[in-house]
Structure 1
Amino acid sequence: MKVTIILQFVLFAFCAAYQSEESEKCRHKFCRIGRYCHINTVGDAECVCGGPDFCKDRQKKVCGTDGIEYTSHCELHRTACVSRRRIGVDQTGKACREFAVELPSCGVEFQSFKDDAFRRLCNEDCLSNGGVRVFMDLDKNSNGVLEENEINLEIKDSFSSCTLLDLITYDDLNEDGTISEEEFNRAFDLNAYIDPSLTHVKTSVKEGSNVRLSCDIKRGKRIIWKRNGVEFKDLGSIKVIGEYVLYLDDVETSHSGNYTCECGDAAQTHTFTVNVKPKVIIYPSTQFHLNGSSIDLRCHADGIPTPLLSWKMNEHNLYDDPFDTKTTFQNHNSRLQIDRATSSRDTGAYKCIGQNSAGSSSDTATVFIENSQSVPTGPIGFYNLFIFFHDYGYNIHEPGTCQLRRQLDTNHDLSDILQMSPQYGLKRRPTDLCSKVCKWGDVIIVKNSLIYAAQPDLGRIIVIQLQDRASPVDVIYIDGNPNGLTYIENRDEIWLISDHSIFVLSTVSKLSDRKVTLLDVGFRIEKLWIPSGVLSKSTFAYLKSGESIKKISLETKRFLRNIDCKGDQSVNFLPIGGKAIIRCGNQSTLIDTFSDLPIGTIQVGKSFISPDGRTLSIFDGQDITVYSINDGGEVKKIKTIRDRKNLIEIEYFPSSTTLGYNFFYSTSTNEIVFIDLYLDRTEIIESVGAPPKPRSSMKSKRTIKNSGYFGDYLASPSDESFLIVNGRRRHIQCKWPHSGNAHQVLWIDPLHL
């Protein structure tokens, strides 16, 4: 009995809380007659059609323009809502024969009377404003409704038998004996409206533009603007000016999305896309060959829309000529191959041009063909290099030839560079690369020149210079246990966490003028997420702090907003459209990073976004759900890949048949799996060994790292070896046995070494 009472009480409390929340959200939501306010699955208030008994208490017959007699105005409009038809009130009653007989004499001429009366009540300024002031002028006591004494007016020079009092007879939709502003607007056709041809407008502009979007709703009062369905007034670089105009300053890809202006039932949506001029890179930048060799040039271009690629050689256009058996173009012109090259014909400057509606750009490679049988003096090979950071130092491997290029052990002496540190000597520091065993934290590369490798247990960051044979050249001491390194390219800064505080390293692409700053944000920090990508600029960060996620400006270093988030927390960014996926426990929400408000839900799981920002994959512990992201930032589910419960980590890999990406994923077994997203094909690479043994209480983790736009390889350490996989041919390329686990893997871009 007691259990039953308690359950009833809990249920009552839950229902009361839900109804209270529903009442609060619906309090500001106006619904047309025949509809009511309802809280949808996303938690937003929306108007829905009433049920069959919704209008049973209204009994005042009206004639519909569809020739049907309805029991009340309410039932007419409810039927129009349910059937998705436009049904008006026939004031003359001619559409309904029996009904027309019952109409008083005014009914036939009431519409013409209202037209004439309105012109007499509204002057020229009033008409230009849609007549919105007439109601306020008539509402003498300002109570929001027109009563009989307020509309008992004589219309001069009118010969009609109708009066304004007939408004209560024909246009009192809720039958309360008064005329509300909504009823008045309906009676005189003053409701906001939009030309049907303007309800959806597509707008595309170039990145960096200042944009003005206008709302074309007529007679609208209290215009509201929404971005991706969320109402706003001022979002920093997005501002509403005078209700009808929206200004967007210095737009970038994050501004793309749907901007809607609304007034009542009238709405106009601007599908807004920011076009980005192509960023082109060609590989390799220099080649030396002998006569008769083959030339292989690859080109990659990022941009919105997807750029079209073309080639020139010494400023002469190159075409895919079916009669030219030596020159071939592959994968939408992203690859140029020339067989049996000769010095006279093929030596020169090869330019790859990327072009889209935002403009064009290019990159150039130089090819030298030696007209001799001797080996040329210049470099012939170009290498993709991987660095494995492991228990006993770090190794540099070249996958094409499976060579070990460099190896530094734990006892590598750092005395010379340590003595140059202003903090050296404050307390006893180890002078070797590591203290017996290396415990590497996060490792990042800056402008393909410097590597910053965290050593949390030693309270320092090792700086490695690639041009100096990948040797340590500096040590930065940070109080506590530094980790969580994130490089912000547009600010040339590294943000990191140490003992729940944020440190900022500035001017990190240079060895001199570097500065370390401790940010006092006023709360404990456990994790840091910063958006990055070739198509976006980083302006803010999200910080994990207890059961909340806080937003901070990278420019002002000031706290902006707080998002309640309980349970396991994670954040991933979708650069096109300015969205983020925030996971709080067992719920994942898609939010707008301008307002930090939810705009929808999405599959719960670990998310992976492709380098071009156009493919999103989410692993829920069992299946992989794949989404596409278009130029406007719209996220659309395209497929589900079933039964992948052994998955640990996804790494995207450039497709050889399209300009998009496929992916590999590492597993908790001795396999690495390839997924072709376009051909729906799966391949398994076996015998790769078990994942590295976890450190202390950490879960087993198998990192997998690709080799950039042009690389053919992936690196993935196992418990017994450093492993290189040929991603094009899907087989094991190299294995180097080791005695210590690899914790981090970096790929070095060979373009500028």
Structure 2
Amino acid sequence: MASRQRGGEQLPQLPEEVVQLTLPEDQKVGITTVTVGLSTVLTCTIHGALRPPIIWKRNGVILNFLDLEDINDFGEDDSLYITKVTTIHMGNYTCHAYGYEELYQTHILQVNVPPVIRVYPETQAQEPGVSASLKCHAEGIPNPRITWLKNGIDIMPKLSKQLTLLANGSELHISSVRYEDTGAYTCIAKNEVGVDEDISSLFIEDSARKTRLSVGNMFYVFSDDGITVIQPNECEIRRHIKPNERIFTSYEEICPEVEGEATQSCLWASAINVRDKYIYVTQPRQNRILIIDIQTQKVMQSMDVDPLPTKLHYDKSHDQVWVLSWGDMQKSHPTLQVISEASAGENQHIIRAPFEEVDDFFIPPTNLIINHIRFGFIFNKSKSAVQKIDLETVTHIKTISFKNYSCVPQTMAYTHLGGYFFVQCKRNTSVTAFPQLIIDSVTDSVIGPNSDVSGTPYISPDGCFLVSADEDSGRIKVQAITIQGEIKLIYDLQTNVHISDLTFQPSFTEGNQYYIYATSHLQTDVLFVELSTGKMNVLKNLKDPIISKDWPWSSYNRIMKDSGLFGQYLITPAKDSLFVINGRQNTLRCEISGIRRGNTVVWVGEV
């Protein structure tokens, strides 16, 4: 056999004589467990005289000749070295001698992660006799065990009717607080590789309710009639900023009158929360972004951007806001701009990203375990590829082609477990939907379709579940991503809900579990699914959604907005009103009428 060349490296001629290779039966599959941040070595135990070089693969892709920053040294004994292991490295690695693929060894790499926790609230004051809850969300691999201390002493012996633990310890509930319940409550999360802890303080005092009104724990809803700030617990409108109110710095009207229109109204497309300090919101008609100061609940300033800004994304890792503008309604001059130092609130700098014909972009979200994102992706008009970009320098790194699959990407989702990107392809004229494609971020290779799963991909906040909603058929497929980086179908739901939007709500009864809430493009019902069991429920008659032609900015003509890691309320707009849902009880909390086209919503946590 002639020698083969790949990536500038020459593989040797295979020897003419017969090579006898051996691999002990009990070594065909091995599990290696390593803690995140450490390095590891996978050694191939295929032996034999004249053994050809060892070839390593991950998901069918040869690693030996790829220029990877974290898998870069095959050593003299042909071992695979992974420096600074992260959760993306988990999964299967195989090795075989060059030319002898039928004899191979599989290494399953498991990655353990020490716990990371958040408590809520950090501090609270309550009057005697009311109930109080202290919450603790922990993530880690394996799942951490939660314990609580009060002023340094274990509370387990004190559990009673009055003091209970819910959701595997994630919530400490005190049903009727007394003065002696005042204290520092420490949540401790522990697994076999580490421990994390944080304190939630409770003060019991008379007239505690008269403390300052918080400006946090609110939904900001952007509608035709301006900006409405809603406190969901009481279903109360806390502030209404009308279209004719003025921008603090320029004194211009928030939504200037348009000639020929009888009423002064607003048009919004996209809004984002920047570190619970500011909200950025696009006004496509004015070719600008408004910046709202959350503390004062005022519109502070406006920023001119390229024509027709329709999508914003806040990149927390680099404190940057990405702005996609269409140029016109035909999207004929799309541009990307990046606003740096977004949380500074003033003197922001706008740079133009050097990418042309941008149809959309995707930047993976952060979570408790993954708090820094380095790369994003850009979809180009009608191209069977995505461009990988460096978020810090806003430059193109490489193009990942889908030509072999005739796929023009429409949306993406990402899990840090195994480092998989799931790509939904645009439908062509044929009836059948394309299956999603999977990109392995370790090798930046397309490793094939996600079996026969099609539809819009959504990843749970912890990265453990992939929910794929096929808008046309109404089918929802739920896959688990295991801590060995495997993707397994748990169930396939047939619904008649043609999903517009979907979000995840942490469970109030089980730790590390989620529910999903989904809205429909056309119908008035909201779907509710318990992820661990597939049990479905429907909230009925939440009025008609905004019709698609009144919402040209995205396919999400009826959004579903959750209230973060510790919130229990969700909000979804109908054509002329808003519905607040109590996720803890899976019931409708209230309807707030007179809010037209309120399909741009931002949640602001405790500030």
TM-score range, shorter chain: 0.7 to 0.9
CA spacing shift, 1:745–1:509, aligned 2, 3 Å: same
Give yes or no for contact 2:387–2:396 (8 Å, CA) kept in 1.
Answer: no
More strand by share: 2
d(CA) in 2 for partners of 1:394, 1:540: 33
Equivalent of 2:445 in 590, 597, 603:
597
User: Quick check: 1:289 aligned with 2:129?
Assistant: no
Q: Which secondary structure does the structure 1 equivalent of 2:548 belong to?
A: coil
User: Quick check: 1:543 aligned with 2:375?
Assistant: no
d(CA) in 2 for partners of 1:364, 1:605: 42
Where does residue 194 of structure 1 map in the other structure? 23
CA spacing shift, 1:336–1:696, aligned 2, 3 Å: closer
Shift of 1:568: 5.7
Equivalent of 1:577 in 390, 395, 418:
418
User: Quick check: 1:561 aligned with 2:399?
Assistant: yes
Where does residue 254 of structure 2 map in the other structure? 432
Equivalent of 1:226 in 57, 75, 78:
57
1:541-562: per-residue Cα shift (whole Å, max 9, x none)? 2111131322222244133123
Q: Structure 2 matches for 1:8-157, cutoff 5 A?
A: none
Give yes or no for contact 2:114–2:194 (8 Å, CA) kept in 1.
Answer: yes
d(CA) in 1 for partners of 2:236, 2:131: 24
TM-score, normalized by length of structure 2?
A: 0.85
1:530-585: per-residue Cα shift (whole Å, max 9, x none)? 11231333221211113132222224413312313544622221221111112334
CA spacing shift, 1:377–1:484, aligned 2, 3 Å: closer
Where does residue 58 of structure 1 map in the other structure? none
Equivalent of 1:404 in 229, 237, 247:
237
User: Quick check: 1:472 aligned with 2:325?
Assistant: no
Give yes or no for contact 1:541–1:552 (8 Å, CA) kept in 2.
Answer: yes
Q: Which secondary structure does the structure 1 equivalent of 2:373 belong to?
A: coil
Shift of 1:313: 0.8
Give yes or no for contact 1:450–1:464 (8 Å, CA) kept in 2.
Answer: yes
Q: Which secondary structure does the structure 2 equivalent of 1:272 belong to?
A: strand
1:392-448: per-residue Cα shift (whole Å, max 9, x none)? 21101111111101111211212x4238xxxxxxxxxx6434554322122111212
Where does residue 418 of structure 1 map in the other structure? 250
CA spacing shift, 1:293–1:432, aligned 2, 3 Å: closer
Equivalent of 2:586 in 730, 733, 740:
730
Q: Structure 2 matches for 1:615-654, cutoff 5 A?
A: 615-620=465-470, 621-622=472-473, 623-654=475-506
d(CA) in 1 for partners of 2:176, 2:435: 58
Equivalent of 1:708 in 558, 564, 580:
564
Give yes or no for contact 1:691–1:701 (8 Å, CA) kept in 2.
Answer: yes
Equivalent of 1:518 in 352, 373, 385:
352
Counterpart of 2:506, as a letter, is P
Give yes or no for contact 1:484–1:528 (8 Å, CA) kept in 2.
Answer: no
Aligned length: 556
1:467-492: per-residue Cα shift (whole Å, max 9, x none)? 12x21223222233333322222222
Shift of 1:388: 1.0
Shift of 1:743: 2.2
Provide the aligned C-alpha RMSD in A.
2.7
Shift of 1:380: 9.3
User: Quick check: 1:676 aligned with 2:530?
Assistant: yes
User: Quick check: 1:459 aligned with 2:287?
Assistant: yes
d(CA) in 1 for partners of 2:591, 2:408: 40
Structure number with larger C-alpha Rg: 1
Where does residue 691 of structure 1 map in the other structure? 545
Where does residue 719 of structure 1 map in the other structure? 575
Counterpart of 2:250, as a letter, is L
Where does residue 464 of structure 2 map in the other structure? 614
Structure 1: runs of 5 or more not aligned: 1-25, 30-135, 137-141, 146-179, 420-429
Where does residue 9 of structure 2 map in the other structure? none
Shift of 1:277: 2.6
d(CA) in 2 for partners of 1:320, 1:254: 41
Where does residue 490 of structure 1 map in the other structure? 317
CA spacing shift, 1:310–1:500, aligned 2, 3 Å: same
d(CA) in 2 for partners of 1:381, 1:476: 28
Where does residue 657 of structure 1 map in the other structure? 509
Give yes or no for contact 2:414–2:421 (8 Å, CA) kept in 1.
Answer: yes
Where does residue 666 of structure 1 map in the other structure? 519
Where does residue 235 of structure 1 map in the other structure? 68
CA spacing shift, 1:524–1:215, aligned 2, 3 Å: same
Q: Which secondary structure does the structure 2 equivalent of 1:197 belong to?
A: helix
1:682-707: per-residue Cα shift (whole Å, max 9, x none)? 22212210002334584672111111
Q: Which secondary structure does the structure 1 equivalent of 2:358 belong to?
A: coil
d(CA) in 2 for partners of 1:407, 1:474: 18
CA spacing shift, 1:375–1:209, aligned 2, 3 Å: closer
User: Quick check: 1:368 aligned with 2:203?
Assistant: yes
Give yes or no for contact 2:35–2:111 (8 Å, CA) kept in 1.
Answer: yes
CA spacing shift, 1:525–1:313, aligned 2, 3 Å: same
1:293-314: per-residue Cα shift (whole Å, max 9, x none)? 3322111112222221111111
CA spacing shift, 1:380–1:368, aligned 2, 3 Å: farther
Give yes or no for contact 1:553–1:560 (8 Å, CA) kept in 2.
Answer: no
d(CA) in 1 for partners of 2:277, 2:216: 16
Give yes or no for contact 1:383–1:400 (8 Å, CA) kept in 2.
Answer: no
CA spacing shift, 1:305–1:258, aligned 2, 3 Å: same
Structure 2: runs of 5 or more not aligned: 5-11, 258-263, 326-332, 427-433
